[in-house]
Amino acid sequence: MWKLLQIELFKIFKRPRTYIAFGAIAAVVFLIQVALKFDGKSYIDLLMSNLKDSFDFNDDFKLDLLNGYLICFVILNTLLIQMPLLVALISGDSIAGEANMGTLRLSLTKPISRTQYMLVKFLASVIYTVALLIWMAVLALFGSMLIFGTNDMVVLRSEGIEQIQSFDVMWRYIAAFGYAAVALTTVSALSFLLSVFAENSIGPIIATMSIVIVFTILSEMNIPIYDQTVKPYLFTSHMVAWKGFFYVKADAEGTTINGSIENLPAIMRSLSILLIYIGLFFGSAVWVFRKKDILT
């Protein structure tokens, strides 16, 4: 099993297209960092615009806000929406790409069960997804910490702002990246399932993105009838729950409580739903693939 996984990873990381995603992330992170380095104050002004009537921030305070932790939060907000496409590039290609190349039939004449084959393929896709996130963490979190330094982190919410003390931030990022890995694995599993039905990778990639876009629109729409009937069951509604790690509890005086999470049960519920989706998508993919006649 380990040997087969090594082969899959070798194949993935030997392909030039694999590095498109890594390059795209590096480019976006770099552009955001450069923009905020040279014009961060304007960005903070924009963020604080709806609070300026309630609070009066001086320029030094604004510059303190603009630290590595906040920059990473901004980057995560921007990039995690786009990353499903980058994940689908590899997952959508995993079975359909082999079928298209003609290597699927050769691989399946080897003494490997189809379930084992699928498991290895899926694990390789998950490892690729995690590798993308680690790459993003290195650039967005550690890179920003290096460029902008560290300080207390301020999180803007509709009802105001929350200040998380510097020492209380890092574990939240670790948890957020971990959650993001599960969220993107859900997309990976969907793309993987669609890949079983196709004979070239374009179809599953486009289909995955279409589903993600439609579900995201439904998740974001404020239509009361959807709030209870549709939204709670869409995986896209739960993909953004990583933000919950940065929403903290406050005491009676309004001071944030270190180490607290405002609504951990909601995060865990979202996590469970994503895990169920992963199981459902992957289980269906294996079930279909085991029955499939290989005609390519």
Partner 1 sequence: MSSIIQVKDLNKDFGEIKAVSNLSFSVPAGQVYGFLGQNGAGKSTTIRMLLTLIKPSSGTIQIFGMELQKHRKEILRKVGAIIERPDLYKYLTALENLRIFGIMSGIKISEKKLMEQLAMVGLADRAHSKVKTYSQGMKQRLGIATALVHDPELIILDEPTNGLDPQGIADIRNLILHLKKDLGKTLVVSSHLLSEVELIADSMIIIDKGKKLVEGKVNDLFDPSETVVEVKTINDEIALEKLKVSQLGQFILNKRNDAILLKLHREQVPVVMKEMVQMDIGILSFHSKHSLEDYFLSLTTANQHVETVAN
Task: Using CB under 8 A, pick the residue from 63, 108, 181, 206 that binds partner 1.
Answer: 108
Say if residues 196 and 292 touch (Cβ distance below 8 Å): yes
DSSP secondary structure of 109-153: TSS--HHHHHHHHHHHHHHHHHHHHHHHIIIIIIIHHHHH----E
In the shown chain, the binding pattern of residues 277 to 296 toward partner 1, with x for contact by CB under 8 A and - for none, equals --------------x-xxx-
* Number of residues engaging partner 1 in binding (CB under 8 A): 24
Q: Which stretch binds partner 1 (CB under 8 A): 72-80, 98-106, 134-142, 159-167?
A: 98-106
Q: What six digits make up the tokens of 260? A: 């607290």
Q: Which of 107, 151, 200, 284 binds partner 1 (CB under 8 A)?
A: 107
Residue 220 near residue 237 (C-beta atoms within 8 A): no
Q: Does 109 bind partner 1 (CB under 8 A)?
A: yes
When the beta carbons of 37 and 290 are compared against partner 1, the nearer one is 290
Q: Does 182 bind partner 1 (CB under 8 A)?
A: no
Nearer to partner 1, 15 or 157 (CB): 15
User: Does residue 2 bind partner 1 (CB under 8 A)?
Assistant: no
Q: How far apart are CA 32 and CA 14, in angstroms?
A: 29
Nearest CB to partner 1, comparing residues 112 and 223: 112
Whichever of 13 and 233 has its CB closer to partner 1, that residue is 13
Determine the residue type at 221. M
Please state the closest distance from residue 110 (CB atom) to partner 1, in A. Answer: 4
Which of 107/150 has CB closer to partner 1?
Answer: 107
Neighbouring C-alpha atoms within 13 Å toward the C-beta of 39: 7
When asked if residue 138 is in the footprint of partner 1 (CB under 8 A), the reply is no
112 lies in the binding site for partner 1 (CB under 8 A) = yes
- The nearest distance, CB 40 to partner 1, in angstroms, is 42
- Exposure letters 46-76 (e unless 16+ CB within 10 A, then b): ebbeeeeeeeeeeeeebebbbbbbbbbbbbb
Residues 6-25 that bind partner 1 (CB under 8 A): 7, 10-11, 14-16
From 5-13, 183-191, 201-209, 280-288, span contacting partner 1 (CB under 8 A): 5-13
Residue 79: C-alpha distances to residues 25, 28, 140, 165, 290 (Å): 8, 8, 10, 24, 35
Distance CA 132, CA 120 (A): 18
Q: How far is the CB of 285 from partner 1 (least distance, A)?
A: 18
Burial of 284 (0-12, 13-18, 19+ CB in 10 A): middle
Question: 10 Å Cβ neighbour count for 129?
Answer: 25
Q: Which CB, 111 or 265, lies closer to partner 1?
A: 111
Q: Which residues bind partner 1 (CB under 8 A)?
A: 3-4, 7, 10-11, 14-16, 101-103, 105-113, 291, 293-295
